[in-house]
Amino acid sequence: MGKDGLEITLNIVKMLVIFLVMVQLVPVLVWLERRVSAFMQNRFGPNRVGPLGLIQLLADAVKFLFKEPFFPEKGMAVMYYGAPIMALIPGALALAAIPLGTPFHLEEADWNLFGFIPLGHHPAYDFILQGYDFGVGIVIVLGVSSLGAYSLLMAGWGSSNKYSLLGALRASAQMVSYELALGLSLVGILMVFNTFSFYDIVAQQNPANPLTFNFLGTVHTMPWWIPNWGIFYNPLGALIFFCASFAETNRLPFDLPEAEGELVAGFHTEYGGFALLMFYIGEYGHMMVASALMATFYFGGYTIPYVSNEAVATFVSNTHHFLGAFDLSIHSNWAAFVTSLCFFVSMLVKILFFLLIFIWVRWTLPRFRYDQLMDLGWKTMLPWALFNTCLTAVWLAISHKPV
């Protein structure tokens, strides 16, 4: 196992960990969704199984496993069984491409497990909190996450059901329409940050730097309490991205594919048991990707608000007793790890906040009619995203003096 072998193994292990975290977050999110929905509707929600009903989804998962397998009469087996598998893939791949913390530098050392089992000598290594890095950042995330439409189409086509087919067609038409607005809304913020790389984007939102606007060669610095976040550079783009990400994840108010009153359950009418759960994992995976992108581009990524990245690193490396065991000021590898962990927690809090907003909006806005939905996508959000791109371009061109 050479250097490449180590790299490949490490990448696969990281991707698996991210995938498992995603899968494990789904029960928590479903519980959160049901509890928050119940809270908003003045009900109790699931509260019997375990403390606060937390074990409910575990019980549900076991129940799903023991459901009767069903295959529709005229269905196509490859499509029908392939669709839930396909639903898992794009969300997991897209989430693995988003960095969840700063990369940490491991110094050259003799590594050992628990202090006495030697693991051999290792050269210095930069460990990234990201499944894989192709060096194209956002492009690969947009690319793989849009593969989600295939799973819906396969489900609808494979189950040979009028409702499923209509739901799948609606879903894919909606997803591709809003993908235009989603892709175009990011052009403005990419122009501001001038890079595809997530690390550079987050580094430019470092709270150490104040929010500054360049106008005709003079730099205007905003007061310290306004964080240096992307949303202040490109608020219109943030709004369009936020709306389009709801449509991309097929959530209310854009959940036409699953409109119960019209299509029973849309593309997953014929599904039950674990296959249905896999569609839900895919949907929540997409929500996590949308939240992570929202946090990375517009809300400072994994940085901690008002605390500069350097201050976090200094604070951690000056900690003398971490959990009573490690003197982080001596063990620089552990200090780097704990610093990264702090950023990871900050990212996780931001992602959970946006997921909560996803749930909140579900019970706030009514569903659109289908023609209204397509009109909103093509005739409102696409032109506004285009306007945002032009506005940002003109603003940047006239406000910066050439060097």
Partner 1 sequence: MSALLAFLIFVGILAAFGGFLIVLSSSLGPRPKPNPAKNMPYESGVAGTETNESRISVKFYLTAILFIIFDIEIIFMYPWAVSFMDFVKSGQGMYILGAMGIFILLFVVGLIWEVKSKALDWNN
| Binding to partner 1 in span 182-211, by CB under 8 A | 183-184, 187-188, 190-191, 194-196
Instruction: Identify which range of 35-43, 270-278, 302-310, 316-324 contacts partner 1 by CB under 8 A.
Output: 270-278
Output 108 or 371, the one with its CB closest to partner 1.
371
Binding test (CB under 8 A) with partner 1, winner from 169, 239, 345, 361: 169
Binding test (CB under 8 A) with partner 1, winner from 60, 125, 232, 273: 273
Q: Tell the residue number behind the tokens 């530098």, with chain if given.
A: 105
Give the binding-site size for partner 1 (rule: CB under 8 A).
86
Instruction: Identify which range of 103-111, 157-165, 296-304, 309-317 contacts partner 1 by CB under 8 A.
Output: 157-165
**3-class state of residue 126 by DSSP:** strand
Output 96 or 304, the one with its CB closest to partner 1.
96
**How far is CA 183 from its chain centroid?**
15
Q: In the range 116-135, which residues lie near partner 1 by CB under 8 A?
A: 131-134
Smallest gap, in angstroms, from Cβ of residue 241 to partner 1?
13
271, two tokens: 């599904």
Phi, psi of 125 (to 5 degrees): -145, 135
Distance CA 311, CA 307 (A): 6
Q: Is 176 in the site for partner 1 (CB under 8 A)?
A: yes
- The answer to whether 359 and 33 have CB atoms below 8 angstroms apart is yes
Q: In the range 224-243, which residues lie near partner 1 by CB under 8 A?
A: none
- The answer to whether 344 and 312 have CB atoms below 8 angstroms apart is no
Q: Is 289 in the site for partner 1 (CB under 8 A)?
A: no
Instruction: Identify which range of 36-44, 159-167, 288-296, 311-319 contacts partner 1 by CB under 8 A.
Output: 159-167
- Angle of the 138-145 helix axis to the 274-298 helix axis, nearest 10: 150
Instruction: Identify which range of 3-11, 298-306, 313-321, 332-340 contacts partner 1 by CB under 8 A.
Output: 3-11
The H-or-E segment that residue 121 falls in is: strand 117-122
Q: Which residues of 298-331 are buried (b: 16+ CB within 10 A; e: fewer)?
A: bbbbbbbeeeebeebbeebbeeeeeeeebebeeb
Q: In the range 51-90, which residues lie near partner 1 by CB under 8 A?
A: 64-74, 76, 81, 84-86, 88-89
Q: How many residues does the chain have?
A: 403
Q: In the range 349-378, which residues lie near partner 1 by CB under 8 A?
A: 370-371, 374-375, 378
Q: Which residues contact 139 (CB under 8 A, 6 or more apart)?
A: 196
Q: In the range 12-31, which residues lie near partner 1 by CB under 8 A?
A: 12, 15-16, 19
Smallest gap, in angstroms, from Cβ of residue 4 to partner 1?
5
Q: Tell the residue number behind the tokens 């900050």, with chain if given.
A: 346
Smallest gap, in angstroms, from Cβ of residue 52 to partner 1?
27
Q: In the range 84-103, which residues lie near partner 1 by CB under 8 A?
A: 84-86, 88-89, 92-93, 96
Binding test (CB under 8 A) with partner 1, winner from 102, 205, 234, 269: 269
Phi, psi of 46 (to 5 degrees): -65, 115
- Angle of the 274-298 helix axis to the 77-96 helix axis, nearest 10: 30
